[in-house]
Amino acid sequence: MPDFTLLAGVDQGLYIVVFVLALVFAFRAGRLAARPPGPAMASSARWTFSLGCLTLLAAVAQWLQTWLMFDSFGWLYINDKLLGFLPLILAPAIAVALVSLPRLWRLGVRVLPFPVRTDASDEEQAAWRMAAAAPETIVPIHALSLGAFLAAALQFVSPAVTLDTGALIGAWGTLIAGTSALWIGQSWRQQRFGRPGPLHKAHPLIRFLRFAILLLLVWGGIATWFNQALEASRLPDRMNMAEPSAGGQENRHAHAANAQEQHASGVSRGQSVSVTELTGPRSEIPDRRFTLTAQKTQLSLPSGKSVEAWTYNGQYPGPELRMREGELIEVVLENKDIPEGVTIHWHGLNVPNAEDGVAGATQDAVLPGEKHVYRFVAKQTGTYWYHSHQQSSVQVKKGLFGPLVIESANEAKSPKQPSLDLTLVHHKLNGGGGFTLSGKQGVTKEQAAPGTPVRLRLINADSSPAYFQLLGSPYQVAAIDGNDVHDPNLIANQTLLIAAGGRYDITFTMPQRPVFLSQSRSDGGRGLLLSPDGTGEAPPPHPDLPVFDPAGYGSPVPLPFDRAARFDRDFRFVFDVQLGFYDGRLDGLWAINGKVFPDTPMLMVQEGDLVKMTFVNRSYMDHPMHLHGHHMLVLSRNGTATTGSPWWTDTLNVAPGETYEVAFRADNPGLWMDHCHNLTHARVGMTMHLVYEGVTTPFLMGRQTRNQPE
């Protein structure tokens, strides 16, 4: 399959190329009538004709590129182009090919009812100028440049135009109205150029004033539009995320495309329940208690640099929380001095909704001097992590996160053999230089006796994909996002790509030689080195190792549902990048179905629904889609069904050009975020919400509240 990023880059570039060529073509065509009639005008017509042919060739290349994109990635990757952008170029391009170019050709080869002479009469010169200024010749060319501009603008500003009828109608209205105005203006211009006698140009001062007035009008219009768009993009000062009107858009709901008649829900129709009622056990005595204090901490890095971090309990990363399956856990969050407030979200744990730790959705942010108590039963096993879900793109980057491990209850009943179980967190601290592994930079060395069972729990707490390589021993991928893999194969010489927010557990038996976990596929200067004596040198990683594919790994087991199931809700989400305004600033926006939060789709479900989601990534970056409160079963990738062990995940990395089908059972009522865990993408609007019918929240978010969940 061709490289999507390369094809998409060529596609974007062709929109610019066609627009620039069409603009130059229109400029030369518009100046043609002002050339001296005779050989000079004929020569200019030939050059203009050649430029027109080049412009049309670029437009044909656009169509070929669109076909190649369709052939490689499917209809969803070209529907907006085919139905929205390209027709804006196609219609005037046909007119140019059938009308304008033949007329330019006749001008260029001097096919007129009189010979070309330097001493041509005034009437003959006027006839030349009349032909060169004819609206039939010039207006299709100008319309082509206008259409190319509109297509390029929609491509970069509103890529999901076919999902926005208003934008499409506006573009066609502009093209039709603009073409009509150009025709009227060019008709007047032809009359002026068709008068016998010398062509009189306006005084330079008059021309300058005309240009200045036009420039002021254009600039004033742009400035007015810019300010209005800037103000319109500002997020509400106060909004409730459970209310459909929060985004102020009628189309905010992402209702199922083929939803069946719905069945009764745990939340009865016509009744409502607040997220504050969806709590963990509140009265029982907890099996384990933890206290996490959010505070500012000065960290001294190995480089000698000192940096201020925001931490839990003064540690970077925060303390590892270990517990056993079935235990009732109580965590007390205290905020010492983080002025913006903090929360704790249990990433990957399907806790009751009130314990999810999302500011403005399930609780208020905890301000300095305040406390908040979380309670939940550890029903799952595996590797997870926790982090603040208040201003996440800032607070996680500054260090407000930590690992969490839930051990199986069966392990406590069986004799425990000596083993090495390490939790390793990949992260890049704001202002701290390069990447760290559990807070350490460079190569960390540990001693491991030969024959020791080793389990490495890899957590990616950064906003970009993490690449790991285990060199020196074959190994198994024992779990993905806390979910055990059934009959994992023994593999070697592969690169592990872990989504932002994702986790892999890998296991192996320590050999007689050193084993190196490289934190990169190109930089051997950071990672974990295990050796029998705790010394040795790290081998260099291999940049060309294939990437591990979980879609066919392990052995299959019976599934609770598959692609052939009858889904109660079926949602499709297309990811794009576009230039636009967000919360009062111009930015690159990561859009879902052409919208950014709070106008992104709201997923409405009922308890018990079987829900399918399709992710289509037409942008240039990975989007690790993280669904709170549930685990998704990956059904297919790029149209091919997954095989091997069931691939359950809570954070799915959707790379550029990839299409995934996933499904889950709606069995945890509440108001849940579903967002990109590249937290900078979530900050500029790549966030949705999954809402169970009947669920409400008393909490508000916005600049006039304490809550900024991102």
Contacts of residue 576, Cβ cutoff 8 Å, sequence gap at least 6: 159, 160, 590, 591, 594, 618, 619
Q: Domain check: are 487 and 603 in the same one?
A: no
Based on the fold, state whether residues 49 and 189 are members of the same structural domain.
yes
For the stretch 42-51, pLDDT in tens is: 888 899 999 9
Q: Are residues 75 and 196 located together in one domain of the fold?
A: yes
Whether 620 is covered by a domain: the verdict is yes
Query: Into how many domains does the chain fold?
Result: 4
Q: Report d(CA 445, CA 532) in Å as an integer.
A: 11
- Predicted TM-score (pTM) of the model is 0.89
Asked whether the beta carbons of 78 and 160 are under 8 A apart, the reply is no
Give yes or no: residues 176 and 89 share one domain.
yes
Task: Give me the torsion for CA of 406, 407, 412, 418, rounded to 10°.
Answer: -140
Which of 412, 447, 465 is where one domain is finished? 412
DSSP 393-445: HHHHHHT-EEEEEEE-HHHHHSPPPP-EEEEEEEEE-TTS-SEEETTB-SEEE
| Higher pLDDT pick, 252 / 447 | 447
pLDDT of residue 328: 97
Q: Specify if 219 maps to a domain.
A: no
Give the model's pLDDT for residue 253.
46
| 481 inside domain | yes
* Least confidently predicted of 23-32, 67-76, 411-420: 411-420
Q: What is the mean pLDDT of the chain?
A: 89
Query: What CATH number has the domain bearing residue 255?
Result: 2.60.40.420
Last residue of a domain, one of 176, 200, 224: 200
pLDDT at 118: 54
Position 224 in a domain: no
Same structural domain, 571 and 537? no
Are 501 and 542 part of one and the same domain? yes
- CB contact at 8 A, 671 and 697: yes
Other Cβ atoms within 10 Å of 202 Cβ, number: 10
According to DSSP, the residues that pair with 580 across neighbouring strands are 587
Whether the predicted pLDDT of 248 surpasses 50: no
**CB-based burial of residue 203 (10 Å sphere; 0-12 exposed, 13-18 middle, 19+ buried)?**
exposed
Instruction: Return the minimum-mean-pLDDT range out of 210-224, 636-650, 660-674.
Output: 210-224
Q: Name the band, by pLDDT with cuts 50, 70 and 90, for residue 269.
A: low
Does residue 682 lie within any of the structural domains?
A: yes
* pLDDT tier for residue 697 given thresholds of 50, 70 and 90: very high
Identify the pLDDT of residue 262: 33
- Are 84 and 106 part of one and the same domain? yes
Per mean pLDDT, which range of 214-218, 287-291, 321-325, 497-501 is the poorest?
214-218
The tokens of 413 are what? 């009943």
Listed residues 507, 523, 548: the one ending a domain = 548
The per-residue pLDDT for range 17-67, each reduced to its tens digit, is 999 999 999 999 988 888 887 788 888 889 999 999 999 999 999 999 999
Q: Which helix (H) or strand (E) holds 306?
A: strand 306-312
Quick one: average pLDDT of 132-152? 93
Q: Please tell me the total number of residues recorded for the chain in this structure.
A: 710
Q: Which of 338, 347, 333 is nearest to 292 (CA)?
A: 333
Do 408 and 421 reside in the same domain of the chain? no
605 in the same domain as 494: no
Name the β-bridge partners of 303.
Answer: none
Does any domain span residue 645? Answer: yes
Mean pLDDT of 291-304: 88
pLDDT tier at 121, thresholds 50, 70, 90 = low
Whether residues 160 and 256 share a domain: the answer is: no
> Taking residues 499-519, what's their average pLDDT?
96
pLDDT tens digits for range 531-546: 999 888 888 888 889 9
Domain residues for the domain of 405 are 279-412
Residue 660 lies in a domain: yes
In a domain, 221, yes or no: no
Same domain? For 39 and 121 the reply is yes
| 253 and 293 assigned to the same domain | no
